[in-house]
């Protein structure tokens, strides 16, 4: 029997941070991980790879969308054949898990070892939740189908905001356990032991081919090329406010860095491992006209260093 846990949450809320916490706490266990990204490049998978972890990367769509759902099903069946005790699934930021139970039921006769679905943990971005949850139905669905909701970035919001988010979460899912934290520091083993599968009836996911977000990839013009750190920051500041999410890795004149941006919150942090090539992923809403903004920003700040 393999215990399966799903992690959901909007772009940049802290799912990968929580996954790192989980992998640290369960490092003595036999673990499988499926990491899902909307873009064709799976940045998050690079952040959590570790020795002894059985990993599958599913990119270029949501695992709950017809575009790559078959690949998700194949990965679940393949993982059931591996010698693991836990399977942790990190869904993409705009994933709608309404059909998760349908998928599990559909593979029940095809797996080598049975799965025990433990349920879903939803990570909420305390800074952006109030602005986004009413306009992005996937966020409400993520909360609805989770038994634990982690309000992350608690150090960046006041008590009134925490109260408003808690009220909204309770309206969507009155039975959810709510935890307020920073950097996803929670007692994850206790949370997982108390986790339960959703009592909500499965339904069709709102993730469709037509509703997929748009992703753009910026690359260093030549392998091994270095971009000035200050020019990189200027470009990110210009593009970030027009995008849902920006993440990636870059080679700069101040060393290799990891890039993580949510709205105007821009983080460019030193990266200990060698970055072979600058690759930056920009995720936008459907129909959001971002191409000209990125092109303009490259011309102004990174001409000769980056291309799209």
| DSSP secondary structure code for residue 213 in this structure | P
- Is there a single domain that holds both residue 226 and residue 154? no
Is 143 inside a domain boundary?
Answer: yes
Q: What is the pLDDT of residues 76-116, one digit of tens each?
A: 999 999 999 999 999 998 899 999 999 999 999 999 999 99
Predicted pLDDT at 287: 45
Is 208 inside a domain boundary?
Answer: no
Q: What is the CATH number of the domain that holds 240?
A: 3.30.1220.10
- Is there a single domain that holds both residue 11 and residue 130? yes
Predicted pLDDT at 45: 65
- Is there a single domain that holds both residue 187 and residue 238? no
- Is there a single domain that holds both residue 287 and residue 188? no
Is 124 inside a domain boundary?
Answer: yes
Is 24 inside a domain boundary?
Answer: yes
* Residue that has been written with the tokens 């909204």 in this structure: 168
- Is there a single domain that holds both residue 53 and residue 134? yes
Q: What is the CATH number of the domain that holds 148?
A: 3.40.50.300
Cβ distance 93 to 283 under 8 Å? yes
Is 51 inside a domain boundary?
Answer: yes
Is 52 inside a domain boundary?
Answer: yes
Beta-bridged to residue 281, according to DSSP, are 217, 247
Could you give the C-alpha distances from 56 to 4, 49, 65, 140, in angstroms and in order? 14, 10, 17, 27
Chain centroid to Cα 50, Å, comes to: 18
C-alpha–C-alpha distance, residues 176 and 149, integer Å? 6
- Is there a single domain that holds both residue 150 and residue 31? yes
Could you give the C-alpha distances from 278 to 12, 152, 214, 252, 256, in angstroms and in order? 20, 29, 20, 9, 9
C-alpha–C-alpha distance, residues 160 and 22, integer Å? 30
- Is there a single domain that holds both residue 83 and residue 173? yes
Domain extent at residue 173: 2-194
- The tens-digit pLDDT sequence of the chain (308 residues) is 999 999 999 888 999 999 999 999 998 999 999 999 876 666 666 677 666 789 899 988 899 998 899 999 999 999 999 999 999 999 998 899 999 999 999 999 999 999 999 999 999 999 889 878 877 888 999 999 999 999 999 999 999 999 999 999 999 999 999 999 999 999 999 999 999 999 899 999 988 887 777 788 999 987 567 999 999 999 999 998 788 889 999 999 999 999 999 877 899 999 988 888 899 999 876 445 678 888 889 999 999 999 98
C-alpha–C-alpha distance, residues 114 and 77, integer Å? 10
Predicted pLDDT at 213: 75
- Is there a single domain that holds both residue 185 and residue 225? no
Predicted pLDDT at 245: 87
Q: How many alpha carbons lie under 13 Å from residue 290 in its C-beta half-sphere?
A: 25
Reduced to 3 states (helix: H, G, I; strand: E, B; else coil), residue 57 is: strand
- Is there a single domain that holds both residue 256 and residue 159? no
- Is there a single domain that holds both residue 45 and residue 168? yes
Domains contained in the chain, number: 2
- Is there a single domain that holds both residue 218 and residue 253? yes
Is 202 inside a domain boundary?
Answer: no
Is 96 inside a domain boundary?
Answer: yes
- Is there a single domain that holds both residue 30 and residue 99? yes
């Amino acid at each position: 029997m393999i215990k399966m846990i799903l992690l959901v949450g909007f772009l940049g809320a802290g799912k990968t941070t929580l996954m790192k916490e989980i992998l640290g706490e369960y490092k003595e266990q036999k673990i499988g991980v499926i990491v899902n990204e909307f873009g064709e490049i799976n940045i998050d998978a690079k952040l959590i790879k570790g020795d002894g972890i059985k990993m599958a990367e599913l990119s270029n769509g949501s695992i709950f969308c017809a575009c790559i759902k078959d690949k998700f099903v194949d990965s679940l069946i393949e993982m059931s054949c591996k010698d693991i005790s836990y399977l942790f699934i990190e869904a993409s930021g705009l994933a709608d898990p309404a059909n998760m139970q349908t998928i599990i039921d559909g593979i029940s006769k095809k797996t080598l070892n049975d799965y025990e679905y433990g349920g879903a943990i939803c990570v909420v971005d305390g800074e952006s939740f109030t602005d986004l949850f009413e306009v992005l139905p996937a966020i409400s669905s993520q909360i609805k189908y989770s038994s634990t909701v982690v309000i992350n970035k608690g150090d960046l919001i006041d008590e009134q905001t925490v109260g408003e988010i808690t009220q909204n979460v309770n309206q969507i899912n009155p039975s959810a356990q709510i935890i307020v934290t920073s950097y996803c520091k929670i007692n994850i083993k206790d949370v997982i032991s108390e986790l339960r599968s959703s009592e909500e009836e499965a339904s069709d996911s709102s993730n469709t081919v037509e509703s997929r977000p748009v992703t753009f990839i910026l690359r260093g013009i030549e392998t091994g090329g270095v971009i000035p750190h200050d020019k990189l920051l200027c470009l990110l500041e210009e593009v970030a406010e027009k995008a849902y999410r920006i993440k990636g890795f870059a080679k700069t004149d101040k060393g290799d860095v990891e890039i993580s941006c949510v709205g105007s919150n821009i983080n460019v942090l030193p990266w200990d491992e060698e970055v072979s090539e600058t690759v930056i992923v920009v995720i936008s809403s459907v129909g959001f006209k971002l191409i000209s903004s990125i092109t303009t920003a490259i011309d102004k700040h990174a001409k000769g260093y980056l291309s799209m």
